[in-house]
Amino acid sequence: MKIEKENISLSQLLTLLINFLLGSAIVVGVGGDAKNDAWLAILLGGLIGIGIITFFHFFIYRFPDKNMFQVFEFCIGRKITIVCTLIYIVYYLYISSRVIRDFGELMATAILPNSPIEMMSLTFCLLMGYILYLGIEVLARTSEIFTPYLFGFFLLLAIFLFASGSLEFKQLQPILGEGVMPVIKTAFTELAFFPYGEMIAFSVIYASLTNKKYSLRVSIVGVGTATLILSVSAILMIVSLGADSVARSNFPLLSTARLVSIGNFIERLDALVVFIIMLGVFIKGSLFFYAGLKGLEYIFKLPYRYFAIPISMIISLFSILVSVDFADHIQEGIKMVPYYLHFPFQVVLPLILFLLVMWKQRKIKSKRKGEQDGTEQTKSSFIKETNKN
């Protein structure tokens, strides 16, 4: 089966990265454990994020035209890879369902309490299925088109909050009141996995990138921008609501937007926030979904488009079944997902894979030295290129 090549430009990658990182992180608010210093924790987390993306980048770029699953195959053979891929697909689809559920909870709690959450997730997933049926390029373009609005709305929100006088910057104090430990702990135990570690989903996207020369720089800029937005939004939340209220809020950014009131005229800006959240959730859910589809494509050797609609329905179903109530959803996110899913799939497996790749490539290199041929262009020619970079 011939698998067509898709192209994503650098600006599209940038917007995808930003939306992906904002995604559900901006819905539920991150870094809450660090209280007043959540914004510092996010900045620190951003540094970790840059490290993570650089690592993935170098790792994937040893094989520029391969996605993660094909790299697996290179190391451990197709049979074991199929099992690994299947586990990864389950992970990706599960996270995608959780992201959709995050959004569904927001809608059901704050915006449309009388509409069934099932209907929202069904329509949302149908849209995701349709867009990915059309291809990742369409998703990338969607993201590219809507991202300026995201910046615009975010800026508007910040300005309006400032203008309505509901910001009290002294609420940021005391800065580092409990020392640096809470900040470091939050950054490494919470933020490193969510949202930054989740960038593992991009391992299937880099293969479609056209301009590979600047991709690292663009990736770093993307992560940096997203971190900045997250950090600023954390600051906005804290200085407008206060740390205690933020901790008690299920959806802090939404609560923040409700404070805006300028001259009884500009108020009820929930819609702006919902737009930002919806875009982020849509991109993030779709990217995980796409990563899962790519895995299926690898296993079954069928173009991933075939799987788009059926699998989107799986996501819709499991976004409902994933948890019974809101506490279940939150607790699963805190107690289960980081330890049993994020840690093995974001850290352990990629690291093992990385070591395997190093080992295997060294072996090939020594073999080639032994043969002393070097007539054909083999995979190791890529190594030379990457080493030059």
Partner 1 sequence: MRLKSVVIVIAIVTLLTGCWDHREISEITVVVGMAVDKGDDDKFTLTIEGINAKELSDKTASGFAPSVVFSLKGDTLAELSQKMNIGISKNLIFSHMKVLVIGESVLREGILDFIDFLERNREIRDDFNIVTARHVKAADILKVTFLVQKSSSLKLHTQLNSFVESWGGDPDIRLNDFIQAYTSAGKRGVLAALTINGDPKKGGSVDNMKKGAPDAMVVVDSMAILKKDKLLDFLPLKDTRNYLWLINKLEKTVVTVECSKNKFLGVRIFNTVTKSKGSLVKGRAIINLKIRAEAYLDSTQCKDDDLTQIKTFKKFGKLTDKQIKKDLETTIKKLQQNYEADIFGFGEILFRQDYNNFKRIEKQWDEYFKEAIVNVDVNVKIRRSGIRTKSPFSEKK
Partner 2 sequence: MVTFAFILLVILLTILIALFDMSLFEFSFFEAMKNILYSEIAIGRYIALFGAVLGLISSVIIDFRIHRSKKESNADERTQG
> Where does this chain bind partner 2 (CB under 8 A)?
86, 89-90, 93-94, 97, 116-119, 122, 125, 296, 299-300, 302, 306-307, 309-314, 316-318, 320-322, 324, 328, 331-332, 335-336, 340
Q: Which residues of 128-159 are buried (b: 16+ CB within 10 A; e: fewer)?
A: bbebbbebbeebbbbbbebbeebeebbeebee
Of the pair 114, 372, the CB lying nearest partner 1 is at 114
Dihedral sign of CA atoms 103, 285, 13, 53 in order:
positive
Q: Is 254 in the site for partner 1 (CB under 8 A)?
A: yes
Q: Site for partner 1 (CB under 8 A): which residue of 174, 264, 321, 327? A: 327
Q: Which does 190 bind (CB under 5 to 8 A by kind): partner 1, partner 2, none?
A: none
- Which 3 state secondary structure label does DSSP give 206? helix
191/196 Cα distance (integer angstroms): 6
Q: Which does 321 bind (CB under 5 to 8 A by kind): partner 2, partner 1, none?
A: partner 2
206/216 Cα distance (integer angstroms): 10
Give me the least distance between CB of 310 and partner 1, in Å please: 28
Of the pair 130, 326, the CB lying nearest partner 1 is at 326
Q: Which does 118 bind (CB under 5 to 8 A by kind): partner 2, partner 1, none?
A: partner 2
Instruction: Choose one: 55-63, 213-221, 318-326, 362-370; the region binding partner 1 (CB under 8 A).
Output: 318-326
Under 8 Å between Cβ of 44 and 184:
yes
**Amino acid (one-letter) located at 384:** K
**Orientation angle between helical segments 270-300 and 10-22, nearest 10 degrees:** 110
Under 8 Å between Cβ of 277 and 103:
yes
**Which 8-state DSSP code applies to residue 32?**
G
Q: Is 249 in the site for partner 1 (CB under 8 A)?
A: yes
Block residue for tokens 């094909």: 70
Under 8 Å between Cβ of 300 and 156:
no
**Orientation angle between helical segments 305-321 and 117-134, nearest 10 degrees:** 160
Q: Site for partner 1 (CB under 8 A): which residue of 108, 235, 315, 337? A: 108
- Contact set for partner 1, span 329-358 (CB under 8 A): 330-331, 334
Give me the least distance between CB of 186 and partner 2, in Å please: 23
- The footprint of partner 1 (CB under 8 A) covers 105, 108-110, 113-114, 116, 244, 247-251, 254-255, 324-328, 330-331, 334
